[in-house]
Structure 1
Amino acid sequence: MATIAADVLPAASPPQGMTPEQARDPDYFPPLSTAVPLGIQHVLAMFVSNLAPAIIVAGAAGFGFGSPDPSELIYMIQMSMLFAGIATLMQTIGFGPIGARLPLVQGTSFAYLSVMIPIVAGKGVGAMAALTTAALCGGLFHAALSRMVGRIRFALPPLVTGLVVLMIGLSLMRIAVQYSAGGPTAIGTPAYGSGQSWLLAGTVVLATMGLKFFGRGIWSTASVLIGLMVGYLLAAAMGRVSLAAVGPAGWFMLPMPFHFGFELSASAIIGFVLTGFVSSIESIGDVEAICEGSAGRRATDRELIGAVGADGVGTALSAIFGAMPNTTFSQNVGLIAITGVMSRHVVTVGALLLVVSGLLPKVGAVITTIPIEVLGGGVLVMFGMVASSALAMLSKVEWNQRNMLIFGLALSVSLGLQLEPAALAYMAETPRILLTSGVLPAAIIALVLNLVLPKEA
């Protein structure tokens, strides 16, 4: 997820029975009566966001919601939970130089969607081999990049990172509207854009907003998840829910190495490598936010290197078993500021719950029964939050003529090419995919111009 302005949230008072020093200590292990509920809360806060990229990629490829055989989608959902849990354990427990040993929650990344969707669009499950192979290469590059995080931070001011996050949000909004209107497969049919579809999506949005602003505790923290449940119940009452896929699903499943195969694609690998650079910046922001906002100190170089390294290794490991790329989740950084508990062991409890859920195909099968319009209502809220978080980052920019020109040109070119990909119809496949992704040209143009143009006096 995009870096949200969690660093502006003041740390809350610690729970009863815990001293302020214990609450700020990442190594403190609270009693299980405190650790387990807080761990579950972390899972609820990231659950929907963690699964959405896998569902969107499967839908773009043509084997998503409503497909005759949901087994591959179920597998991707399971792997998203399993490897989000494993990558989170890398962060909280640490393995040598890998992991920040901080309460960082890992999950599948929205940042890569602009690269992943063109790779698989309409090509079926066979296209997943090129995608997961590219994710493996990108993850290894990401892990290697972790050793250089201190040297590249100067080139990534809020002007660059905020623009990139904004493009991530803008590139996803079309998907959110398509899902809310009935899904890509319904385009051109009488069912697309029907009142019934928008009723389901709108119910999720209204329930989510109501719980977020008027709920307390877990009702507010898990508002998106509970909003989806409300939409699901309405869909069931309307006869839109079928549990046919749940019965045949097994009770236990182990991940399979190279489940989708192995295929090298130059355009896909370049896209993942470049996006891995963007993802590393998100992780740096999250680590700095959690250390400054909850522990009252600057993040150490070891913590930054470990966090970005865990991102890369987690992405590479996920890709081997057919899962999506991983990154740190900013909503959980904000949740720590709200709860006032910085214990990494609390997040470890949540990670273990994700691992267990990832081994139970029945869980994934139940998720596939959610009507796509219900999911659309949820992602409408989430993708809008990605874009609005970018505005919080951009508010730190000094908006002089130089910066306005950099921002305007990068946004104009990147968004324009994404909206009109036919403008590059005669270009070779690899540069065409990269230039129409939206995120990558925005990052490159803004980064280069910010480095070469003279500063205004």
Structure 2
Amino acid sequence: MSNSSIGTPEQLRDPNYTPPLYKAIPLGIQHVLAMFIANVTPAIIVAGAAGFGFGSNSPDFPELLYMIQMSMLFAGIATLFQTITLGPIGAGLPVVQGTSFAFLPVMIPLVAGKGVDGLAALYAGIFIGGIFHAILGMFIGKIRIALPPLVTGLVVTMIGLALVKVGIQYAAGGVPAIGTPEYGSALNWGAALVVIFVTLGLKFYAKGMLSVSAVLIGLIAGYIFALSTGMLTLSAIATSWDRAAAFALPMPFKYGFELSFAAIIGFCLMAFISAIETVGDVSGITKGGAGREATDKEISGATYADGLGTAIAGIFGGLPNTSFSQNVGLIAMTRIMSRHVVTIGAIFLIICGLIPKVGGVIRTIPIEVLGGGVIVMFGMVVAAGISMLSDVDWNRRNMVIFAIALSVGLGLQLEPGAVQHLPSTLKVLLTSGLLPAALIAIVLNLILPEELAAEATEEVSGGMAGHGKGTLPHND
């Protein structure tokens, strides 16, 4: 489908332009396919951390199904806030919202092993964090100075590093299988590797929609592998389909509402990072699709919608939402700026979210197959963080900030017992690794002078002095 058959160059750059419906519908579904698996994956990971069973015969199956359902439903609703707008809420641009990976290092410790009992505090934190996130829309431009690429790149890298362990565990057979003979078997890794190789092949050797949907198609290939090797049976798929309802509405406060200081602080702090991510995505959309800078109104409206979408999701059992960067890339590739195309995709997501049978089918994806996709997705998060760090001027000051923040954040994540004597709230916040790293980087970036003495840096770096970006240490 060529762009000339959809509209004129001026029309394609106009967010208010509506392509013919028979062309707009597949374009909207294309946006959904690009983000679908990444959108439901956090719900599956949080459910697994809470201890919910993954089999269709598990007593926790309805809870897991509900979380997947809410991920689809509220991604669609939050996307509608962005495309249709509601007063000051929404960018009026083709911004696709979805469940955020960024909050996982905060959410996992909050629910770890607690089952349904851990969800009341989780969703209360999501709701309050969402309200705080929306308030950031009033002064989002003023806080950007506190979050340069050094800070945001470090945080995004830490998010990926905090999650890569999950991908390896899933590929080996999942957390419940740890210690069993099946854990890490050749069959388990075979399923994950099929996903990885198919994804890589399509990403680098295919074009258009095949490349954009590489992870989704890779998971389908892994699914077929699981069926062919007996890891998954048709009877299990049928059972999952039968146990899922044909239609269901969301329930407000389904898991209760419990105020937790750790949850509230964690979600509010992460709202800063998510807000800056959305600012970057909105700027990417306007630059890639229309060749212009985003306006203050668009940036603030996008932040309002981000927060409101998250707050409403928290009421009904959904997870925090943010703008999806893969869809920004899709707009840059297609050069189609129509917000109404994304509205169609949002409606498709909402329909899927109201039909639990869709979630039932998703739930039959073997954990090993999902692990292959997660390894790719979380690896890309790390790569995105490193890409952001490439914009940093690596002088001595920035090297010290990065070194201390990374050492403390990653160290606490790897050795949570180091803070075992602290109150439980502080333990949850610190052992995420992400929040202490972010806070240290933000504070040091604000208080340290622009350049540190060369001698001080060489003392702590073993003589390996830092150089500006794009340069290597000289060999004298």
Q: Same-fold call, TM > 0.5?
A: yes
Q: TM-score, normalised by structure 2?
A: 0.92
CA distance in 2, matches of 1:254, 1:120: 24
Partners of 2:120 and 2:91 in 1: CA distance = 31
Q: Distance in 2 between matches of 1:298 and 1:211?
A: 32
Quote the Cα distance in structure 2 between the aligned partners of 1:376 and 1:32. 37
Query: What is the alpha-carbon root mean square deviation over aligned residues?
Result: 1.3
Q: 2:307 aligns with which of 305, 312, 323?
A: 312
211 and 278 in structure 1: CA distance in 2 versus 1, 3 angstrom threshold: same
Report the 3-state secondary structure (helix = DSSP H, G, I; strand = E; otherwise coil) of the residue aligned with 1:107: strand
1:34-433 matches, within 5 Å, as: 34-66=23-55, 68-69=58-59, 70-241=61-232, 242-243=236-237, 244-433=239-428
Secondary structure of 1:55 counterpart: helix
Tell me the CA shift for residue 43 of structure 1.
0.2
Q: Point out the more displaced range, 216-225 or 37-46.
A: 216-225
TM-score, length basis structure 1:
0.96
Moved more, 152-161 or 346-355: 152-161
Amino acid at match of 2:26: P
Mark the CA change 1:35 to 1:191 in structure 2 (over 3 Å): closer, same or farther. same
Aligned to 2:9: 20
Q: Tell me, what secondary structure is at the counterpart of 1:247?
A: helix
Q: How many residues align?
A: 446
Give the partner amino acid of 2:24.
A
Which residues of structure 1 form unaligned runs of 5+? Answer: 1-11
Whichever of the two has the greater Rg, that structure is 2
Q: Which residue of 2 aligns with 1:4?
A: none
> Aligned-pair distance for 1:436?
1.1
Change in 2 beyond 3 A, CA 1:123/1:133: same
Compute the displacement of 1:219 (Å).
1.2
In the TM superposition, residue 273 of structure 1 has moved relative to its aligned partner by 0.9
Q: Specify the code of the residue in structure 2 equivalent to 1:273.
A: C
- Deviations 1:291-342 (CA, angstroms, capped at 9, x unpaired): 1222111111111111011010000000100011100000000100001101
How far did residue 17 of structure 1 move?
A: 4.4
Residues 256-282 of structure 1: CA distance to partner in whole angstroms, max 9, x if unpaired?
A: 001111111111111111111111111
Matched, 1:455 2:446: no
Supply the distance in 1 between the matched residues of 2:315 and 2:422 (Cα, whole angstroms): 31
Output the amino acid matched with 1:112: F
Q: State the shift of 1:146 in Å.
A: 1.1
What is the SS of the residue equivalent to 2:243? coil
Identity over aligned residues, as a percent? 63
Structure 2 CA distance for partners of 1:442 and 1:246, relative to 1, 3 Å = same
Q: What are the superposed Cα offsets for residues 388-413 of structure 1, whole Å, 9 maximum, x if unpaired?
A: 01111111110111111111110011
CA displacement, residues 31-85 of structure 1 (integer Å, 9 cap, x when unaligned): 1122111111100000000001000000000114237121111111111000000
CA distance in 2, matches of 1:189, 1:196: 14
**Most deviating of 412-421 and 293-302:** 293-302
Shift of 1:288: 1.2
Paired AA for residue 54 in structure 2? F
- Give the distance between the partners of 1:64 and 1:27, measured in 2 at CA: 45
Q: Does the 8 Å contact 2:6/2:23 carry over to 1?
A: no
Aligned mates of 2:451, 2:256 — CA distance in 1: 52
For 2:13, the aligned partner's letter is R
Determine if contact 2:94/2:338 at 8 Å carries over to the other structure: yes
> 3-state SS of the aligned residue for 1:245?
helix
Residue type at the aligned position of 1:132 = Y
Offset, 1:14: 3.4
Which letter maps to 2:341?
Answer: V
Return the alpha-carbon distance in structure 2 between the equivalents of residues 426 and 356 of structure 1.
48
Q: Quick one: distance in 2 between partners of 1:15 and 1:374?
A: 39
SS of the residue aligned with 1:191? Answer: coil
CA drift of 1:248 comes to: 2.1
Change (3 A) 1:48 1:17: closer
Aligned to 2:322, what secondary structure does the other structure show? strand
* Equivalent AA in structure 2 for residue 354 of structure 1: L
Q: Structure 2 CA distance, aligned partners of 1:376 and 1:443?
A: 27
User: What is the distance in 2 between the residues matched to 1:450 and 1:256?
Assistant: 43
Amino acid at match of 1:68: S
Q: What's the secondary structure of 1:246's corresponding residue?
A: helix
